[in-house]
Copies of this chain bind each other. A is one copy, B any other.
Amino acid sequence: MADENFFYNQGPISLADIATLSQSSLFLPAHLQPDELIYDVASLDEADNKTITVLNNAKYLPVLAKTQAKACFIEEKYASKAPKSLALLISANPYKAYALTGMAFYPQIKPQAVIAKNATIDSSAVIGENTNIEGNVVIGANVKIGKNCHIGTNTVLDQGVVIGDHTYISSNVSISYALIGKQVLIHPGVRIGQDGFGFASDFFGHYKIPQLGRVLIGNNVEIGANTCIDRGSSRDTVISDGCMIDNLVQIAHNVVLGKNCVIVAQVGIAGSTTLGDFVVVGGQGGIAGHLAIGSGAKIAAQSGVIKDIQAMSEQGGYPAMPIKQWHRQTIMLKKILKEQMKTND
């Protein structure tokens, strides 16, 4: 159960309403009615008979058999494995159905719209209605913030920054040279819009190249804590709609992410590289500069990508190669070593 000191459960919600909001089909055992109330969401092993759970992965079928939940999101093909007393909500994507239900129980609560007295807001800035601005926030000249936004404590929006409606920015964030879309979620400590790492060099040292682009962030983007996104040098750095970016990620100048990319923690993407849509990069992966990564490509954690990658291709390794080849190489090395150890005996 979520700690009531931190979370506000908006339930209960009836099974019928959950089926509707999650686009699932409700199948009830004889003793339950569609107006049966559900009080919370919970994982299979922590659920009790007031809660709804989800079978998200076939490997948890044994846990499903013993779950205490009242209801469960499940794919049709596994329905026969569920306990007979369980209400089933059949969905082609049970985890999505669970996500939608979870958000209904625990919607993002925007604090009451107050503009803190000790926020510093330039007189030329425009703040949309119902937007909340916390203490010590500093908002520069010509900044435009949409409606229903939240700007967290100690966050700095430098001159000219634009923030779309319903965007939530947490504490201690620095944003400059950026246009940010709607429904964006920015976690604490994020740095957006600082200079990219560009310079010419000679025997005497390094000479800074002015970084004259911006950062453009689309709608429905999430950006993890302490992640850094540099502004462009000659073109803009672009994060397209729906991208999910985890903590401590580095996105260099001129990088372009297509729609709905997933960038896991501590990934680094070097300058001027372009990703298509729905690209997934595993944790600590690195992509060199000036590359093109095709839509739907998947890059394994810790891989080092140094060549273009075709759409839908999966890669892994250091340097990265097609993932099957990498797995084979790993197995082959183990085998060769084993044989060599025998020979040495």
Residue ranges of A at the interface with B (Cβ–Cβ < 8 Å): 2-3, 5-7, 41-43, 46, 93, 95-100, 102-103, 105-106, 116, 118, 120, 134-136, 138, 142, 152-154, 156, 158-160, 170-174, 176-177, 185, 187-189, 191, 194-195, 197, 199-202, 205-210, 212-214, 220, 222, 224-226, 228, 230, 234-235, 241-242, 244, 246-248, 250, 252, 259-260, 262, 264-266, 268, 270, 283-284, 286, 288, 301-302, 304, 318-319, 321, 325, 328-330, 332-334, 336-337, 340-341
Contacts and interface: CB of A to CB of B under 8 A. Distances in A.
A320 to B, nearest CB: 10
Contacts of A153: 138, 156
Contact of A174 (B3, B158, B170, B244): B170
Contacts of A230: 225, 247
Most chain B Cβ neighbours within 10 Å, of A98, A136, A235, A340: A136
A205 B277 CA distance: 10
Given A6-B176, A120-B136, 14 more contacts: A7-B212, A43-B235, A97-B200, A98-B200, A135-B138, A136-B138, A138-B153, A191-B225, A195-B222, A205-B242, A248-B248, A252-B265, A264-B270, A302-B318
A206 B170 contact: no
A6 B175 CA distance: 12
A99 B207 contact: yes
Contacts of A226: 189, 191, 226, 228, 248
A276 to B, nearest CB: 15
A118 B137 CA distance: 12
A120 B152 CA distance: 14
A250 B259 CA distance: 25
B106 A212 contact: yes
A197 B142 contact: no
Nearest to A220: B205
A199 B220 CA distance: 13
Q: Which of A187, A234, A235 has the most C-beta atoms of chain B within 10 angstroms of its own C-beta? A: A234
A154 B156 contact: yes
Given A209-B102, A268-B284, A154 B170 contact: no
6 contacts: A93-B202, A96-B201, A154-B172, A205-B241, A250-B283, A283-B286
Contacts of A321: 334
